[in-house]
Structure 1
Amino acid sequence: MNTEHDTGVRQILAHCTVCQVERCADCETVHLHVGHTSLRLTMAAFLSLCATLLEAAQTATQGAILPATPRRAAN
């Protein structure tokens, strides 16, 4: 991947104590920084990652919000 875009202008989309998300206008990528790890993603890949993380968060919290119910065997 071309690293010349590192001098480009980045817009901070969101940040918290765990991560920061930036959009680079020059290379049209999203930069995701989590701790000491950084990922450069196309917008499509970033949106797919967001959808997957949201699904995982919803699945992980369902048990915390609602008590687990036993599954019935299919007839």
Structure 2
Amino acid sequence: MTESADALIIRLVTDRLLKAHPDADPAVVHGSVRTAYEELKYARVRTYLPVLMERRARDLLSAADQAEPDA
């Protein structure tokens, strides 16, 4: 995959997660997707990269939600 293909994947995964978590801070969602991408960008098999990124980013968002103190 090219760098522009990776950028498209990042954007699409971010958009999906923003729709799934409308109350989440967009910066946190983007950061979670970016972290997921950084963890997976050197994967040899890239077919499932978008799915794996989304799952990892959801895990990170869940952890961030649990870490926030209740207001």
TM-score interval, normalised by the smaller of the two chains: 0.3 to 0.5
Higher strand content, 1 or 2: 1
Select the structure of larger CA radius of gyration. 1
Instruction: Provide TM-score, normalisation by structure 1.
Output: 0.38
Q: Highest relative contact order (Cα 8 Å, sep 6+), 1 or 2?
A: 2
* TM-score, structure 2 normalization: 0.39
